[in-house]
Chains A and B, each alone.
Chain A
Amino acid sequence: MPELIAKGPFDGVEPLVMAGLTLAPVEDGPIWSIALLPGGAKAAAKALKPLGLAFPGPGGISEKAGLRLVWTGRDQAFLFGDLPAGLEGAAVVTDQSGGWAGVTLTGPGAARALGRLVAVDVRLAAFPVGGVVRTGLNHMSAVILRTGEDAFEIRVFRSMARTCWHELAEVLRHLGARAPLSA
């Protein structure tokens, strides 16, 4: 039998540029949930060390050479990239690949745009570059990374990709329509 065709959550969706902001889909590779078992921190650290990674604390990200370990909950982080060996017994690993739909929101004022849908404080002091929050994107549960002063990565459940795009696009359209007002 021929191979099954893979489809991402945003196949065929073009980036949206408006109000100086860009909303674009992210193509994710493998995503692994790594959940530390009780007493597993030390062994996990040992397995992660050769990769230059450390298990992140709340709101933290550890990144090295294309691998990214993102805090996502109590004793839990998502690894974006290929799974290293040596975590058995220290942590529970679960494949989360394809379960998340990601977009980037970039451009001047991205934080304020995000403030349309996100209740948490996204000012730089409260949410620095290289940080992550799990919070609501309007009514959706989201994982939001700050990759730059004006750059965010937002992930929601894959099934909610359309709503996520729709709501962020609406924010951009409203901001775009507002722009001439301040002129």
Chain B
Amino acid sequence: MRIDGKGIIDRTRQARFRFDGRDYQGFKGDTLASALLANGVRLVGRSFKYHRPRGILTAGSEEPNALVEVIGKTNRTPNVRATVQEVFDGLETRSQNRMGSLKHDLLAVNDLFAPFLSAGFYYKTFMWPRAFWEKLYEPAIRRAAGLGSLSGRHDEGAYEKAWAHADLLVIGAGPAGLMAALVAARAGADVVLADENPVLGGRLIAEGGTLGGEPAAVWVAGVEAELRSLPNVRILTRTTVTGAYDDGTYGALERVGLHKPARPDLPRECFWRIVAPRAILAAGALERPIAFPMNDRPGIMMAGAVRSYLNRFGVAAGKRVTIFASTDSARATARDLVAAGVQVAAIIDPRPDASVVEEVPVHLGAEVIDTRGRHGLRSITVRKGAESFEIETDCLAMSGGWNPTLHLTSHMNVRPRWSEDLAAFVPVEGAVPGLFAAGAANGTMSTHGALTAGKAAAEAALSALGRVAGTVAVPAAEDAPYGHRAIWSVEGRGRAWLDFANDVTTKDIRQAAKESYASVEHMKRYTTQGMAPDQGKNSNVGALAVLADATGRGIPETGTTTFRPPYTPVSIAAMGAGGRGAGFAPQRFLTSDQASRDRGAPMIETGLWYRPGYFPKRGEATWKEACDREVAMVRQAVGVTDVSTLGKIDIQGKDAGRFLDFVYTNTFSTLPVGRVRYGLMLREDGMVLDDGTSARLGETHYLMTTTTAAAGLVMRHLDFVQQAFCADWDLRFISVTESWAQFAVAGPKARALLDSLLEMPIGDLPFMACAAARVGGVEARLFRISFSGEEGFEIAVPTRYGEALFRDLLARAETMGGGPYGMEALNVLRIEKGFITHAEIHGRITAFDIGMEKMVSAKKDCIGKAAAQRPGLWGPEREQLVGLKATGPISAGAHLFRPGFAVERENDQGYVTSVCWSPTLGAWLGQAFLKDGRARHGETIRLVDHLRDIDMACEVCDPVFFDPEGGRMRA
């Protein structure tokens, strides 16, 4: 029911929305909860376990009951708190966790079994038969209990991530936060002010009242206008600070477009990382419910929420309201209601000594012991001394006191401190370095106290930041003492709910204690109290009090569970903004990329690079046909492939050769200028790190090549070695991978192809040599190296000429009966030739294992040499690189067994790393690691792959299958 003249909603702007298929009308500024209440809708959801009818409990992000699904055109968002979601024209929502309609939920039958479903029920009941758990029990329980459901589709909505840096982060824009932001902003500090509401003011808006003689809203508007006018202030509304992390970093979730109809490119949410050396936690306090019997009916709400709906939204939560509270603040709710013309039937105050001076009947020393109304509250039963009586009411506003919103101060694992005065936990100073609580979040409950504390906190922050605070006057404000007495639960028949979200009652807590789950951590897990989306914001302290009572300890001795991030739920989509699909990692494209795609080549991701798999020709049905053709093309004519992805590191200085001697197992300082050498690099633990060729371009100038996969790794390794062991050497190096486009040209006609392009013919450039060259008016580098076993060259030009050279090379190659070849053919060519890749040097392999122990120079030391000589890293027990030959398909990943032995782990002789069909040799070839393999050439071994159903006899042989003398490469 709307109250004329109340609230800060914009009554000139209507918003039509749907809830459970029915149309409703709200106003701009309404939340879904306020608009539903205004429309007289009290039943909004079903509880988690018992499917009890539930209504709106709170007016904030702590809401445990009113969780709904928001349905967009392309997505569906479950567990949206109706108290947070703002209404807009076209908003479509529905209730969740029900079977059938909300009013006639078939699963409400669970409520009848409630006596059997108490704490620990699942643990005790579904233990056996064991197999039933996964197939029967769990699916059934998940169907019956739970929250909303997802659409099952990708969330293709726009999301953002952002960083913000400030001198001071102010969390919460109530009286303390606004005052702190104002003081800090006027002193020139960079301030980020974040509040989870769309409007600033916090409880000043919810409570109304006056500040400095004017309505609180006027003061708020004045402060907001000033803050917005200052360039050093950034105001983030609809932004919840969700976590406190190391070094003054805070996570925050901004609801950017969730209050608007979806538009392309409009982010739904933005996940902020806010870095600030100082932060002020001015998040206020959360009111706590009272666990009285049958306290969960729609219409039973927090007193502060009832007040908020009245003052902020102009909504009366009921026609005939009763108050059940042990706080003076709830009296203000009653007075606001009366002043707005809403009938208040009675105030029930358990304090025997509280004031009776109100315009409505006050029952002191009284308690609510029962309630009625299936889908909404109809009446309550009050016990006062020996007598009890019933009161007709459709809304009960309750208040058991206030808990400071201190969650962020616990995020670094410091538990809060119990305050007897407040009967609440309060923050421990220094719990999060740089974060200071102020106002109600720190237990200062009056408005005047909050304003003063906010100012003081800002002044302290400014002084720590080395800034001088100006004089800022604190406006006169309400300064009443926090009149309250803790009341946790009320004895009586019927269930008294503590955790509405997870359906945990006082009986469950007592049961847990009785069954020895008496520590707070055990109780939490046994009952699931505090484990729902509200994370115990409404129930933790109440549950502790009941546990303390049940175990005969005090609350401080009972202790509390700690709060972890996030404060409110954060969608994974926001945290992973931009990272969906191809956004997961940067994409690196070759200069030849378009030319390859033009020829229909499917691109394969290798590292971050995209490389062509093969180049299909008309009539080729499978990749293998294309691959076989490309292999034959290289062996018989000429092939061209882009090898720019290989890492290239330019190394210069008088000590460059000495440095290479140190990082490679073999010697490079003796390499003549103009020559290239294959090198093997070890990690410090003696395992192979990488291999590749290095060329000596000049007396003090080398060019190292790494594999594509390990380019970054090798660069990091070299940086480490240089900085840690040879910082004073005459040596500098830098990656030039991106500066050169490099193409391999291989095959019997490779030389003829290059000679047709180069300004000077190749001439007598020997195998494993390099030279400067010129092509198309451009300085180039020519290397005579081969990864295919054919006479081969690699030609490098500055990257900007890469595409042009690639296209020219292809055109000429095709004229000569050759063409491009892709990764598949490249792999076959190297297996035929017995060359290794990171499929072989996978991190657990020594130089000995790959038969390269002779490459570890005896004349010098190198990184990894000593560690490689440890026992167990050499000898016949090692699995050694061998070749495998088979007549049928074999697979990488298969394991090797002696024929006649059982295929069991104990008999495992080794494993296969690479395989291919060799069109050159007409056989299946493989590379494998086999125990004592080098001594076993000629043996027959059994290859078994359970995943692909392969069981094949293979011949063990030397890994070099094709042209073992290397005559073709050296031709």
Contacts and interface: CB of A to CB of B under 8 A. Distances in A.
Contacts of B801: 4-7
A157 B588 contact: yes
A118 interface: yes
A68 interface: no
B799 A99 contact: yes
Interface stretch (A46-54, A56-64, A158-166): A158-166
Which of B589, B728, B777 gathers the greatest number of chain A CB atoms within 10 Å? Answer: B589
A140 B586 contact: yes
Contact of A163 (B264, B587, B732, B737): B587
Interface stretch (B2-10, B155-163, B633-641): B155-163
Given A7-B800, A99-B799, A123 B190 contact: yes
A98 interface: yes
A8 to B, nearest CB: 6
B907 interface: no
A147 interface: no
Contact of B738 (A99, A123, A126, A138): A99
A35 B651 CA distance: 11
B163 A118 contact: yes
A63 to B, nearest CB: 22
Contact of A1 (B158, B164, B776): B776
Interface string B173-211: 000000000000000001000000000000000000000
Interface in A1-27: 1-8
Contact of B808 (A4, A92, A115, A159): A4
A115 B163 contact: yes
A7 B594 CA distance: 12
Given A99-B799, A176-B265, A177-B267, A38 B729 contact: yes
Contacts of B759: 1
A174 B160 contact: yes
Nearest to A100: B738
Nearest to A138: B578
B798 A126 contact: no
Contacts of A94: 650, 652, 734, 736
B161 A6 contact: no
A76 to B, nearest CB: 7
A173 B587 CA distance: 20
A119 to B, nearest CB: 5
Interface string A88-113: 00011011111110000000000000
Nearest to A4: B776
Given A35-B734, A160-B586, A176-B265, A3 B777 contact: yes
A167 interface: yes
B550 interface: no
Nearest to B805: A4
B257 A181 contact: yes
Contacts of B732: 35-37, 75-76, 91-92
Interface bin, chain B:
35 or more
A2 to B, nearest CB: 7
B804 interface: yes
B260 A181 contact: yes
A177 B158 contact: yes
Contacts of B375: none
A135 B474 CA distance: 43
B275 A121 contact: yes
A96 B736 contact: yes
Interface in B723-742: 727-732, 734, 736-739
B194 to A, nearest CB: 15
A178 interface: yes
Contacts of A164: 586
Contact of A7 (B588, B591, B652, B731): B591
A75 B578 CA distance: 35
A5 B256 CA distance: 47
Contacts of B737: 99, 157
A162 B164 CA distance: 26
A115 B264 contact: no
B736 A6 contact: no
A177 B158 CA distance: 10
A139 B738 contact: no
A97 B741 CA distance: 12
Nearest to A167: B578
Given A115-B162, A160-B588, 8 more contacts: A1-B776, A4-B775, A4-B778, A91-B732, A92-B652, A115-B164, A116-B163, A126-B165
Interface of B: 158, 160-165, 190, 256-257, 260, 263-267, 273, 275, 578, 585-591, 608-609, 650, 652-653, 727-732, 734, 736-739, 757, 759, 775-778, 797-805, 808
14 contacts: A3-B777, A6-B801, A76-B732, A76-B734, A94-B734, A96-B734, A116-B160, A157-B737, A159-B738, A163-B586, A174-B158, A177-B257, A177-B267, A178-B256
Interface of A: 1-8, 33, 35-38, 75-76, 91-92, 94-100, 115-116, 118-119, 121-123, 126, 138-140, 157-164, 167, 170, 173-174, 176-178, 181
Closest 3 CB pairs of A and B: A4-B776, A99-B738, A35-B732
